Structure 1
């Protein structure tokens, strides 16, 4: 592992433990050349998941895209970055536990919406308004009524 400070290959692991998500290992490393410490995360390599988009194009699953959509929905809401990260982890567990090689973007969107509804109703409505492409105020109001009835 290269040191991010001096680019030396002369580093060693000084501590290793499961990360918060229990799906990766957190390693504290020490550079023997510059003496600085840094953290790395090791994850199990999984079979690439292909996402089928609405236009039937296929692309490899990208965690950053899911996270970006959730971050936009939670903008200026009282939702911590840790909670968002946990939500993305939970969504990924749901997606990868299906053990399918392909998944539609609509299925991913539904999973995210279900999780967001539990986390923050306003973020849920924001995400749903973009994801479901509300055409007019009436469809928006129908979605709000569903939330208020729960």
Structure 2
């Protein structure tokens, strides 16, 4: 690691700490030439696949876009920021472990819907209504019924005589 002040190649690590639950490592360093101190941060660099849009164009995966779309669906819902971050981490882990170089937006949308379904049913319906572009109320009703699951058997009452 080069010193940012004198550009000398030899620096010494003075202190190392884990941040953000071990995802980031903070290191305090000292230059052996000018004796000045500075801090560096190490993060894991994930190789996430490129996103293939519906029109065939490709773009780099952007976690900020994913976070924004999920946060919009979760707006004013009782879901913690930690739960949202865990859902995003799960999506990114799924993308990373797939080994694919490219992922279609449809697949990414399905992963988001799976996570939202676990977090909050209303957020799931909000996201699905935009993502699936419902044409009419029937399609929307089907999505709501899908969230409700199979109907519970109703106990029928016998009329009194």
Fold match by TM threshold 0.5:
yes
Distance 1:13 1:109 in 2: 45
Where structure 1 has 5 or more consecutive residues not aligned to the other structure, the ranges are 2-6
Q: Tell me the CA shift for residue 8 of structure 1.
A: 7.2
Q: Secondary structure at the match of 1:126?
A: helix
Check the 8 A contact 1:13/1:27 in 2, yes or no: no
- Map 1:115-134 → 2, pairs under 5 A: 115-134=115-134
Q: Give the deviation of 1:133 after TM superposition.
A: 0.8
Q: Distance in 1 between matches of 2:88 and 2:29?
A: 30
Kindly indicate whether residue 31 of structure 2 is the aligned counterpart of residue 17 of structure 1: no
Q: TM-score, normalised by structure 2?
A: 0.73
- Rounded to whole Å, the distance in 1 between the matches of 2:149 and 2:56 is 35
Task: Give the 3 Å change call, closer, same or farther, for CA 86–29 of structure 1 in structure 2.
Answer: farther
Give TM-score, length-normalised by structure 1: 0.78
1:18-33 to 2 correspondences below 5 Å: 19-20=20-21, 24-27=23-26, 29=28
For residues 34-83 of structure 1, the C-alpha deviation after alignment (integer angstroms, 9 at most, x for no partner) is 99xx894511352x521111111111111111111100000000111111
Q: CA RMSD in A?
A: 3.0
Aligned pair count?
140
Q: Which residue is 2:51 aligned to?
A: 51
**Residue ranges of structure 2 left out of the alignment (5+ in a row):** 151-161
